[in-house]
A and B are shown apart, each in its own frame.
Chain A
Amino acid sequence: MLLPGLPAPTEGLHHVEQNTECFVNNRELGSGTLYISAERLCWTKVDGGPSLSLEYPHIAIHAVCRDITRFPRPHLYVMVDTDLFPEDHEESDDEDENADPEARCTSVRFVPNNLGNLDTIYQSVSNCQILHPDPEQESDNEFPEDDEDEGEYNLAGPLPPVRYENEPYEEQMENGLGEAVGSNGHGTDADEEAMDEDC
């Protein structure tokens, strides 16, 4: 997602913010232009150089941060659920083993010169986020079509009736459908790992 010379989006633009600095995991990338398009969130550096292209399904959180005790200037904070710079985690996790793939995320900060536009920027990202719901994909890993022998299935009769035990609410969320409802069950590998850890 960090590619030099990536062309800026020209269609479906919700907002464009010039003179915006970009920091990834506190690594300063410089000043450039932020493009909030319906398709992706893009930042291109002035005079070429590395540019950033983020897809909304990978934006876990976005927020306006005005707490200058932690970061010197108000900015748009974006948490991406993938590792854009794996070497950052290797340096800082000398003690930890960082074997948990779920913990991988990247902090991206966009600092516009014009702070008055921060709320507009936040709202534009929100509006574009809701344009990208997770697709209703076929969850092959939950309903295998192959001849996998996971046990004996009685194919002669009707489908077994749905049964709900009198369990606490949290457990029902997990077991009732065989997956955590909160995770939306979209069948990604991350979902699978989360379910395994929790069960």
Chain B
Amino acid sequence: MDINRCKKIYGEIKVSYLYLKQKFFQLFYSFFKSLIGKDVVVELKNDLSICGTLHSVDQYLNIKLTDINVTDAEKYPHMLSVKNCFVRGSVVRYVQLPADEVDTQLLQDAARREAHSQRQ
């Protein structure tokens, strides 16, 4: 096993990964901006789910929600029914979207374009 070749391929994979990640961030930033004003459910990595209206999103996919409600109030009684909240993007596991607001075909096409665009 040629260690240098391994390292080269690893480097190529990492570059592709970082490029794709950046591209997908941009893609989903645009995508989420188009959903501002819609009701979403944000599920965090600690299993807390918050439903609310998408107020804004930034390039790091931080999310601001308004009129929020905690969907599991018994498990998380300390999470009060605040009006607005700022959710750090890195703690989000899922964002549940209303199905009729998402053009999945459009999103799939856009994702494929980004993925293929980085290949020479």
Contacts and interface: CB of A to CB of B under 8 A. Distances in A.
Interface of A: 25-26, 56-57, 59-67, 70-71, 77, 79, 81, 100, 102-105, 107, 122, 125-126, 129-130, 133-134, 136, 138-139, 142-143, 145, 147, 155, 159, 161-162, 164, 168-170, 172, 176-177, 180-186, 190-191, 194, 198
A66 B54 CA distance: 20
Chain B interface size, as a band, is 35 or more
Nearest to B5: A155
Given A57-B88, A143-B17, A155-B6, A162 B116 contact: yes
12 contacts: A61-B87, A64-B83, A65-B82, A133-B60, A134-B90, A145-B10, A147-B1, A164-B111, A177-B21, A180-B94, A182-B94, A182-B95
The 10 closest A-B CB pairs, nearest first, are A63-B85, A63-B82, A107-B78, A60-B91, A65-B82, A133-B60, A70-B80, A169-B104, A65-B80, A134-B90
A114 B93 CA distance: 36
Nearest to B20: A177
Tell me the interface secondary structure of chain B in the complex.
mixed
Nearest to A176: B111
A102 B111 contact: no
Contacts of B89: 133-134, 184
Contact of B61 (A159, A184, A198): A184
A43 B9 CA distance: 48
A61 B86 contact: yes
B62 A100 contact: no
A198 B92 CA distance: 13
Interface in B24-47: 24, 28, 44-47
